[in-house]
Amino acid sequence: MSKFPSLPANPEMIEVFATHSEGFESLCDYHDTILRGPSPLSIAERELIAAYVSGLNQCDFSYNSHRSFAEVHGIAPECFELLVSDPAAAGLDERLLPLLAYARKLTQAPSSVSDSDADDVYAAGWSEKALFHTIAVTGIFNLMNRLVEGTGITTDPTRRNATRDRAANEQDNLTPYAGFARSITRASECGILGDAMMGGGWEDQDLSAPSAGPST
C-alpha cells in the first residue's frame, strides 16, 4: 500500500509532485542555480557530491540518478565503486576529499562541523564559494533524500535509462531541473498523469513543449 492512498503503491516522482506541487518549481529553480550555475566546482563535481550525499543516506533513487548525471558530465564510472565507503580510495582528485569529508560530516553529524573542517577545504585550494556550494548541494540532497524516502518514490528502470539518455543529450542545458518541474505542472494541468505519463509520448502533445528533465 502507498503511504498516500490516492497514489499508486510505488509512486514515481512525477506523480508525487504533480499531486503535491506547492513549492516544487521554486525548489527546482534552486537546484539549477546551485548545480548548473557559475561555480568553482564543475557540474560533474557538484553532481558527484549529490550522489555521495544520497549514498550516505542510502537513498538509492537519488544516488542512482545523480551518479548517472555525474558520469554523463565526466566522472569515471569506476569512481563510484568505493565513493561512499572509502572516498580516498575511489580514484578521485585528492582536492575533492576535504569537500566530501565536509559533506559527510554535515550529513551525518551537522553540529560537529568545525572551523578546522573548513580550514581543510581552504588548504586544498578551494574558495569560500566552493565551500558554500558544497554546503548547498549537501543541504539540497539531504532534503531531497528525505522527500523521496518519506513519500516512497520509486522509478521504473526503463524510465531511468530514458532519463540518463536525456541527460546525455542536454549537457549544455543550464535549467534542466526547472524544466522538469514545469513539465510536471503542465502535465498535471492537462490531466496527463499516471499510466498516461508513464507511457511516454505526452511530451510531444501541445503543452507548450514542456521539458522532460532529470529526476532530482
| CATH number, domain containing residue 75 | 1.20.1290.10
Confidence of residue 204 (pLDDT cuts 50, 70, 90): very low
Q: b/e map of 129-164 (b: 16 or more CB within 10 Å)?
A: ebbebbbbbbbbbbebbebbeebbbebeeebeeebb
- Give pTM, 2 decimals: 0.87
Is position 23 within any domain?
no
Work out the average pLDDT over 48-76: 96
Q: Flag whether 163 is in a domain.
A: yes
Q: What is the number of domains present in the chain? A: 1
Region 122-148 average pLDDT: 98
> Degrees (nearest 5) of the Cα angle 139, 140, 145?
100
Whether residue 179 is contained in a domain is answered as: no
Percent of the chain with pLDDT over 90: 68
Residue 22 lies in a domain: no
